Amino acid sequence: DPQLNQNYTFENFIEGECNRLARSAGYAVANKPGGTSFNPLMIYGDVGLGKTHLSQAIGNEIKRNLPDKLVIYVSCEKFCQQFVDSLKNNTINDFVNFYQAMDVIIMDDVHNFAGKEKTQDIFFHIFNHLHQSGKQIILTSDKAPKDLAGLEERLLSRFKWGLSADIQIPDLETRMAILKKKMYSDGIELPENVVEYVATQIDNSVRELEGAMVSLLAQSTLNKKEIDLGLAKSMLKNFVKNTHKEISMDFIQKLVCEYFEVPVDMVKSKVRKREIVQARQISMYLAKSHTKSSLKSIGAFFGGRDHSTVIYACQTVEDLIETDKKFKTYVSDIMKKLKS
């Protein structure tokens, strides 16, 4: 399957207290897709902790045991994009039929459904069809179903039907085991004190842990230096610094429009449809809070408006954050994306 990354296997997934339930439920599902009460299986947790890896490991394991099963892995984002395309091209039936023909669907990052009501409707129908036919559904998300605001209630209630299992940040010992496993498969040897130092310093994400190791190797090759504690220390200083980037208004506009499925040029237009106005006001609010741009230049950027329009937009957004829980989730989701 081109969608599945062959490196994401159970063998390569280190087990720890942090992921034990999710891993063993995943393994059970992989050996009996559709035949356990873990349907859907929802794996949730923060970014970089192994949700994509584990969900694809399930897919790979199913393909290995049951090669005839039709397994599809798709990110929620890609699914949304495909849906929009199928609307444009008049191929919604093909789109729905394709997904309803699967034996196993793995959908990654379903929190990205927030704000996309039309796509949620279509997925609701696909979900029901698959579930009624005893097909396996595997979902991942950055929050537990009960905390996933911005999704339709009927879809959320389906997400709660099976098992939700979280993945947490691995403890130091597990982080070291992950680093060692990774090095071993890349044929690299690192001194024990370096492994321990890196695993101690980076305690928020397995992805960053791997990133740090790649940087370390690059530094060592570039400077023709051996990897030792000194090199690890100087590397990690830069590694932490490099992760702070400037946010531009272009980027804000792109993110907000993607989030609400709104064409990018619309926020700069004079259109006063509710969803466009909402996207425009949130964009202005984020530009005010996340860039150094003046009110005047923010107004100019978003369609030649004056500074009082920007003040009004910011006020409106602040009020809605206070009073509307769903709206607050939209804004905080987009902020998270801005910073990642």
Residues near Mg ion (CB under 5 A) are 52
The answer to whether residue 119 forms part of the interface with ligand ADP (CB under 6 A) is no
The answer to whether the beta carbons of residues 135 and 102 sit under 8 Å apart is yes
The answer to whether residue 329 forms part of the interface with ligand ADP (CB under 6 A) is no
Provide, rounded to whole angstroms, the least separation between the CB of residue 19 and ligand ADP: 6
Instruction: Give the span between the Cα atoms of 36 and 290, in whole angstroms.
Output: 46
The answer to whether the beta carbons of residues 201 and 193 sit under 8 Å apart is no
3-state helix, strand, coil in the chain (%, to 5): 60, 5, 30
Instruction: Give the span between the Cα atoms of 104 and 114, in whole angstroms.
Output: 23
Contacts of 331 (CB under 8 A, 6+ apart): 282, 285, 286, 317, 321
Residue 14 touches which member of Mg ion, ligand ADP, none, C-beta under 5-8 Å by kind: ligand ADP
The answer to whether residue 13 forms part of the interface with ligand ADP (CB under 6 A) is yes
Three-state DSSP class for residue 274: helix
Looking only at residues 277 through 306 of this chain, which bind ligand ADP when binding is defined by CB under 6 A? none
Looking only at residues 228 through 267 of this chain, which bind ligand ADP when binding is defined by CB under 6 A? none
Q: Of all helices (H) and strands (E), which one includes residue 154?
A: helix 153-159
Q: Which is nearer to ligand ADP, 86 or 201 (CB)?
A: 201
- Report CA Rg, the chain: 23
The answer to whether residue 178 forms part of the interface with ligand ADP (CB under 6 A) is yes
DSSP string spanning 20-37? Answer: HHHHHHHHHHHHSTTSSS
Provide, rounded to whole angstroms, the least separation between the CB of residue 57 and ligand ADP: 9
The answer to whether the beta carbons of residues 165 and 25 sit under 8 Å apart is yes
The answer to whether residue 112 forms part of the interface with ligand ADP (CB under 6 A) is no
Q: Which is nearer to Mg ion, 52 or 141 (CB)?
A: 52
Residue 49 touches which member of ligand ADP, Mg ion, none, C-beta under 5-8 Å by kind: ligand ADP
Instruction: Give the span between the Cα atoms of 158 and 120, in whole angstroms.
Output: 12
- Choose one: 26-34, 61-69, 206-214, 267-275; the region binding ligand ADP (CB under 6 A): 206-214
Query: What type of residue is 246?
Result: E
The answer to whether residue 26 forms part of the interface with ligand ADP (CB under 6 A) is no
The answer to whether residue 210 forms part of the interface with ligand ADP (CB under 6 A) is yes
Q: Which residue has the tokens 């009960």?
A: 146
Residue 150 touches which member of Mg ion, ligand ADP, none, C-beta under 5-8 Å by kind: none
Q: Which is nearer to ligand ADP, 34 or 48 (CB)?
A: 48
- Choose one: 49-57, 238-246, 265-273, 275-283; the region binding ligand ADP (CB under 6 A): 49-57
The answer to whether residue 50 forms part of the interface with ligand ADP (CB under 6 A) is yes
- By CB under 6 A, name the binding residues for ligand ADP: 12-14, 19, 47-53, 178, 206-207, 210
